Structure 1
Amino acid sequence: MYSGDTELISPSVTEILGYDPEEISVAFIMDKMHPDDKPYFLNFEYKVVAFFKSLPFDKIEYYKVQYDFRVKAKNGVYVRLLHQAVQIDYDKNNFYRTLCLDTDISHIKPKGAPCFSIIGLDGESSYYNIQDTGVFTKSYDLFTNREREILKCIVEGKNSKEIADELFISLHTVNAHRKNILKKAQCKTPVDLVSKAINEGWI
C-alpha cells in the first residue's frame, strides 16, 4: 500500500526547512522529527490507513487528513508543520499516490501536542482532534540491531548492493538479513514490509 517514495518536492521546502528537495523523503523527515512527536506521527499514520481501509471505495475522494508535528530545520531550530493529505491515485486494493501540503504553522502554534483530524468534504462527516493511543510494537522486540539498520535502509529505498556498501558487509549477508526481516515481519514483499514498518512504528 505504501512505499514512502516521493515523486515531487516543492523547492519552497528550502525556504522553510533549509534542506534541498532532493534530500527529502519519509525516512529523512522521521529522522529529523522531534522525538516527542514521532509516536504521534506513527499513530496518526496508523489511523489514516485504518480509516481509509474502512471507507466504501466511492467515499475515499471525499476526505482530507491533517495533523501537525515538529521537524528540525537545517539551522537546528524546530519548525511545526501542518501536514494535509488527500488520496489522488488509488484502486480497490491499493493507494498509489497522495497529494500532500505541508505548511509552517510555528507562529500559530508554538507549543502543544500534535493534533490529528480527518476532514470530510462535500458534506461528509469530519472527525476533529482524534486522540492518540499507543498501539505500536517496538522494533527491538522483533529485530536485531543489524536488522533494524537494514530495515531503515530498505524504507529509504536502497537496494541490497547500496545497503552492503553503506554498512560495509557482503551482499550475501544483506540478502540473508532481508530474508530474515521479511520472515519476522510476516511480509511477503519489500513493499509490504515498508508499509508495515511505517504503520507499526518499526523505524
Structure 2
Amino acid sequence: MHPQSSSQERRPSAPMTRRLPAQLLPPFQPDPAFEQLLTRTNAYCYSVDYQTGRFRYVSPGIHRLLGYDRAAWQMGGPQAAFEHVHPDDRSCVTDIYAEMNRELLRHSMEDRAELNFVFTCRVRAQPGHYLHLSHHLTFPNIDRYGKPLADFALVSDITSLRVPQVCQLEVHKGPATDPATRKTLLFARHGAVTFSKREIEILRLVAEGVESHEIARRLFISYHTVCTHRKNLLHKAGVKGPVELVGYGRLVGLV
C-alpha cells in the first residue's frame, strides 16, 4: 500500500517510494504453514521492493480479506493498490509514509531494523464497500546508507472493532505489543492530528467521569471554554460522544 503523487494535488511521493541504487535482495520465501494459516484468517501479508516499486510478495489471504485475485493484485503493484484506499484517507497515507521515513532517519542505522510501524486506513474491498485495515509494517532490509530496500507488512481487518475511522500511526522500537515503546500520531486529510496539553487534561478528566462544570472549576477556566475543548476533541477524534471519545483515548494511549 503505497502513495503516489497526483497531478492535481501536486503532492510528492513519500520518500520511501523513491528508486534506490540497485542492490540484489534475497528471494522472498514465505513459510508454507504460515501461508496456509493466513488463508483461514482475515489477514494477508505483502512485501514491496523499494528499488523496483513492485510487490515482492502478496499472500493468498488477499482474496479472503478483500476479494481480489492474488496474481492480479501483485501484478498491478503498490501504485494500483493505493487507488483502493478511501479517497479521504489517501493524503493521510501519503503523510504516514513520509512520517515513517522521518522516523527511520531519527534512529541509528543499527536501530532502524528494530522499528515497528502500525498504521490504519480504509481500503475498498471487491464488493465495493470499505474495510478499516491495520497494517503492521517492518523494514527487514536496510542498505548500508540506512535506507529501506524492502518492507514486510501484515494486514488485518479491524472493522468489527468499531474503532474511530481515522488514520493512525503507531511507532514502536521493539515489539509492537509493548505499550512502553509506543508513540501514536493521528492523521487527518491535512496532516498529523495533535492534541493540546489542555485538551489531553480535559480528556483524562472526562474519562474519570468528571462533569464539565467541575472540570472548569478544577482547571480555573470557564464552562464555555471546557465545552469548546470537548467539541474540538470530538472533531479531532472523529467520534460522536463522550463514551466513544474515552474509548478512543484509551485506544491511542492518551488515558
TM-score, structure 1 length as denominator?
A: 0.60
Give the CA RMSD over aligned residues.
Answer: 2.2
Hey, what's the Cα distance between the residues in 1 that align with 2:187 and 2:163? 20
Could you tell which deviates more after superposition, 124-133 or 89-98? 124-133
Structure 1: any 5+ residue segments left out of the alignment? 136-203
Q: Relative to structure 1, is the Cα distance of residues 36 and 124 closer, same or farther in structure 2, using a 3 angstrom cutoff?
A: closer
Whether 2:119 is the aligned partner of 1:119: answer no
Q: How much has 1:114 moved relative to structure 2?
A: 1.5
Aligned ranges for residues 165-184 of structure 1 at < 5 Å?
none
Larger fraction in strand: 2
Hey, what's the Cα distance between the residues in 1 that align with 2:136 and 2:162? 16
* Aligned residue number for residue 51 of structure 1: 103
* Aligned residue number for residue 56 of structure 2: 7
The answer as to whether partners of 2:132 and 2:165 remain within 8 angstroms in 1 is no
* Aligned residue number for residue 224 of structure 2: none
- Which of 101, 114, 126 is the matching residue for 1:74? 126
Hey, what's the Cα distance between the residues in 2 that align with 1:38 and 1:32? 9
Query: What amino acid is aligned across from residue 80 of structure 2 in structure 1?
Result: F
String of CA shifts for 1:147-195, please: whole Å, max 9, x gaps.
xxxxxxxxxxxxxxxxxxxxxxxxxxxxxxxxxxxxxxxxxxxxxxxxx
Hey, what's the Cα distance between the residues in 2 that align with 1:125 and 1:86? 18
Whether 2:146 is the aligned partner of 1:97: answer no
Number of residue pairs aligned between Structure 1 and Structure 2:
135
Q: How much has 1:62 moved relative to structure 2?
A: 1.7
Q: How much has 1:131 moved relative to structure 2?
A: 3.4
Q: Relative to structure 1, is the Cα distance of residues 54 and 125 closer, same or farther in structure 2, using a 3 angstrom cutoff?
A: farther
Q: How much has 1:23 moved relative to structure 2?
A: 2.5
Structure with larger Rg: 2
User: Percent identity, aligned pairs only?
Assistant: 17
Q: How much has 1:109 moved relative to structure 2?
A: 3.1
* Partner secondary structure for residue 55 of structure 2: coil
Hey, what's the Cα distance between the residues in 2 that align with 1:41 and 1:8? 21
* Partner secondary structure for residue 69 of structure 1: strand
Hey, what's the Cα distance between the residues in 1 that align with 2:120 and 2:72? 21
Q: Relative to structure 1, is the Cα distance of residues 80 and 131 closer, same or farther in structure 2, using a 3 angstrom cutoff?
A: closer
The answer as to whether partners of 1:63 and 1:121 remain within 8 angstroms in 2 is yes
Q: How much has 1:30 moved relative to structure 2?
A: 1.3
The answer as to whether partners of 2:62 and 2:70 remain within 8 angstroms in 1 is yes
Q: How much has 1:112 moved relative to structure 2?
A: 2.4
Hey, what's the Cα distance between the residues in 1 that align with 2:111 and 2:78? 26
* Partner secondary structure for residue 43 of structure 1: helix
* Partner secondary structure for residue 19 of structure 1: coil
